[in-house]
Amino acid sequence: MHYIDWVIVVIALSVFVGINLYLKKSGSKDMQSFFLGGGKMPWYVLGLSMVATTFATDSPLWVTEKIAQHGISGNWLWWNMMMGGMLTTFFFARLWKRANILTEPEFIELRYSGKSAQWLRGFKAVYLGLFLNAIIMGWVNLAMMRILEVFFDLPPETAFWATMVAMLLVAFYASLAGLSGIVLTDSIQFFIAMIGSVILAIIVLKQPEIGGMSGLKNQLPEWRFHFFPQIGKSGSMGAFSLSIGAFLSFFVLQWWNAWYPGAEPGGGGYIAQRMMSARSERDALWSVLFFQLLHYAVRPWPWVVVGLCSLILYPELPIELAGKGFIYTMRDFLPIGLKGLLLVAFISAYMSTISTQINWGASYLINDLYARFIKPENGFTSSSKAQNHYVRAGKWTSLLLIAAAGIVSTNISSIDEAAQFLIACGAGLGSVLIIRWYWWRINAWSEIVATIAPVPVLIISKFYLEPYFGDVYTNNNGSFYVVVLATITSWLTATYLSKPTDMNVIKHYVERVRPGGWWPEEVAHRGDDLLTLGKQWILAVILGYGLLFGVGYLIIIEWFLAFSWLSISLISAIILNHLIKKSTAVLAR
């Protein structure tokens, strides 16, 4: 690192802190402003914020690792989730805004009744806001530590403490202006991270060892450039291969049945937080659609290019360390100034993710645990004093989250293992998170059982069923089927063995949220037409995948395929825009 690189880093960090200092007064007046930015944010800023948050330091490293294993087709391990993201866009974005709540767990007491709803709200505040949040921040920290180890040749212990210092800096600026400062900073950080990734891809492609895209394609086997997995096959290397059973689990079940941060079925976490902070229902919908297109179709391609190039530049890297190839290209090929810019890009990716996780986690712990059960607002002499107290408590809660993330960071050895653990723990939960919006019979016990059931079933599957049935069970993703089936059976049983939600609560929910779906005759409602939403969803999926493949084929110089997919995407976008305008006009009447 030249001193010019360090100057660039210092200037960028100063800008991030300066933005939050400027917005401090307006962003921390009360919990609404601190955790939802006052609920007045435009769609394009929210969309950029969401994609910046998912652009963590681990993302390009993980993509590089998958490319080393399976080439471009390895990305289907996450590309399949676009279907669930588009489902959230059209079936749930407007509903989250209409709910007029502060956090996702608060929805539980809007939708359910009784002590079970109270218990579930408090449990999810801790389970999601602290436990799973710490795992997410832990693997993001692990990626940052690996970058520091390679980039500056630091020992692991030093890289760990440097990352902890970075977390404290993020917590400081995230606590100044709350979500409004975070969202604006996220937008800037996304552009820096994206521009840096594109510059790195161009520089690496121009290296003599690569010889541009034509040279890259000539030096790597053809399967590295396959966009689609091979169905009916299996194997740990080569183009991504799936048995019939594994294919069905990925493309029929997982995208709507498995809980995963940033891709929660029905929306949740920081995605729901952004939708609820939108200034209108229209902004909520467009923000998520904008996010899905950037997240899946645009953002990953510079990483893909660098990942492919790293296979030639660092052929000696073992598969399990292939992600470091991305960092090596930064270290070895960037000139003075650009090296600082790329480091800022990764710092930006890190900060945007951690700042959101801290603010989002604090909102759960304060709004749904502390203010709801420990120190409610009626214990204060005035509402303003209560709000000031809760905002201060939210700021101090960031230290608890940092400590929890630090502990997890020292106990995670693989980013991929952590991600697979989260997917497995949430298998089957997605069905409840989707149906609860539209079917009156779902109650708090349905969700409690669906949240708890996957863990013991997963343990039984891993330690008893996998050894017994062997490779056939493992290759066909049998564990996922078993967990999903057992979880759905469990929550359906619990639903019919327990009392329905109080009818007054259901009426209040339906009047406020106005969902479509299936409700008792005495509950009059006027909601969205599910058939129309289904058409919009299908068109959006075609639009998203058309753009994804069109951009990809454009990059690898396959002109006909690029033109074909982009044309499909454009036609879908035109029809989709017409349907959205038409349905919005109907609702307005």
Q: Give the DSSP letter of residue 316.
A: T
Q: Percentage of the chain with pLDDT > 70?
A: 96
CA dihedral 309, 314, 318, 324 (to 10 degrees): -70
Residue 96 lies in a domain: yes
Together in a domain, 41 and 68: yes
Residue 41 belongs to domain with CATH number: 1.20.1730.10
Residue 264 lies in a domain: yes
Residue 88 lies in a domain: yes
Residue 156 lies in a domain: yes
Q: Select from 308, 333, 20 the least CA-distant residue to 151.
A: 333
Q: Which of 497, 519, 541 is the last residue of a domain?
A: 519
Together in a domain, 497 and 467: yes
Residue 588 has pLDDT above 70, yes or no: no
Q: Give the DSSP letter of residue 241.
A: E
Q: How far apart are CA 129 and CA 242, in angstroms?
A: 34
Q: Which of 519, 538, 557 is the last residue of a domain?
A: 519
Q: Which of 460, 493, 519 is the last residue of a domain?
A: 519
Residue 425 has pLDDT above 80, yes or no: no
Mapped onto helix, strand or coil, the DSSP state of residue 327 is helix
Together in a domain, 486 and 445: yes
Together in a domain, 302 and 447: yes
Q: Which two tokens stand for residue 491?
A: 């929550």
Together in a domain, 399 and 425: yes
**Greater pLDDT, 99 or 246:** 99
Residue 28 lies in a domain: yes
pLDDT digits (tens, 9 = 90+) for 193-223: 888 899 999 999 999 999 999 999 999 999 9
In sequence order, which residues have a C-beta less than 8 Å from that of residue 28 and are 6 or more positions away?
A: 34, 176, 177, 178, 391
pLDDT averaged over every residue in the chain? 89
Residue 7 lies in a domain: yes
Together in a domain, 468 and 575: no
Together in a domain, 295 and 412: yes
Give the DSSP H/E element, type plus range, for residue 230.
Answer: strand 230-231
Average pLDDT over residues 461-485: 87
Residue 524 lies in a domain: no
Residue 589 has pLDDT above 50, yes or no: no
pLDDT digits (tens, 9 = 90+) for 58-93: 788 889 989 999 999 999 988 989 999 999 999 999
Q: Give the DSSP letter of residue 173.
A: H
Q: How far apart are CA 71 and CA 237, in angstroms?
A: 9
Q: Where are the alpha helices (DSSP H) in 295-382?
A: 301-313, 324-333, 338-365
Average pLDDT over residues 282-305: 95
Together in a domain, 513 and 578: no
Q: Select from 28, 387, 393 the least CA-distant residue to 181.
A: 28
Together in a domain, 456 and 554: no
354: domain range?
3-519
**Greater pLDDT, 523 or 416:** 523
Q: Select from 280, 321, 315 the least CA-distant residue to 415.
A: 321
Q: How far apart are CA 336 and CA 585, in angstroms?
A: 54
State the total domains in the chain.
2
Together in a domain, 88 and 182: yes
pLDDT digits (tens, 9 = 90+) for 22-57: 888 888 888 999 999 989 999 999 999 999 888 877
Q: Select from 388, 366, 374 the least CA-distant residue to 106.
A: 366
Q: Select from 216, 219, 149, 117 the least CA-distant residue to 502.
A: 117
Together in a domain, 135 and 280: yes
Together in a domain, 249 and 291: yes
Residue 417 lies in a domain: yes
In sequence order, which residues have a C-beta less than 8 Å from that of residue 544 and are 6 or more positions away?
A: 82, 86, 292, 293, 296, 297, 569
